[in-house]
A = this chain, B = another copy of it.
């Protein structure tokens, strides 16, 4: 079982860094979102962090991603606290109420799946805008970005363009890149709502 709250994880990539922020800031009882559930690992971490009193909404447009996530959650005994939504994350605001502590985006394609089925930059930006408005003050969005596959650089550029326009009085926006890795290494954008 993934150890929720393990602080010793090495910051060896964009996803471990996103987990670091999630573990530090998500509390039992929180409302959180996995905008791209993929194989369900982030959904599981979120479900463990919010506990039985919290709630997770997990989105994916691909039925096999939803099925893999459901199976993982059932195996780990966390299924009941997770709402699985088989639809694109650009419809996030239709299912999720305001007051959200954290929204995790892990972009690119489904690991082990069809690499031509990638997240669409326009839909991603729509989803991000909705997510930003649903955050509670102090809440945040993590966005793991991949530029090594076809369409990746365009998506990263759309996300950065959106993030750069967020008002600095309302949002802290950080881009985290690894200086001693190739330029194509996955990286992380963090958007924190101030008030």
Chain B residue at minimal CB-CB distance from A12: B172
What is the predominant secondary structure among interface residues of chain A facing chain B? mixed
A12-B172, A138-B10 given; A166·B194 CB < 8 A: no
**Interface-forming stretch among A45-53, A106-114, A177-185?**
A177-185
Alpha-carbon separation in the docked complex, A192 to B20 (Å): 13
Residue A91 is within 8 A (CB to CB) of chain B in the complex: no
Chain B nearest CB: distance from A122 CB in Å?
19
Chain B residue at minimal CB-CB distance from A25: B7
> Are B194 and A180 in contact (CB-based, < 8 A)?
no
Which residues of chain B come closer than 8 Å to A166, judged between CB atoms? 180
Q: From the candidates B7, B10, B160, B192, name the one contacting A24 in the complex (CB within 8 A).
A: B7
> Are B179 and A11 in contact (CB-based, < 8 A)?
no
Binding site for B on A (CB under 8 A): 7-8, 10-12, 17, 20, 24-25, 138, 160, 163-168, 171-181, 189-190, 192, 194
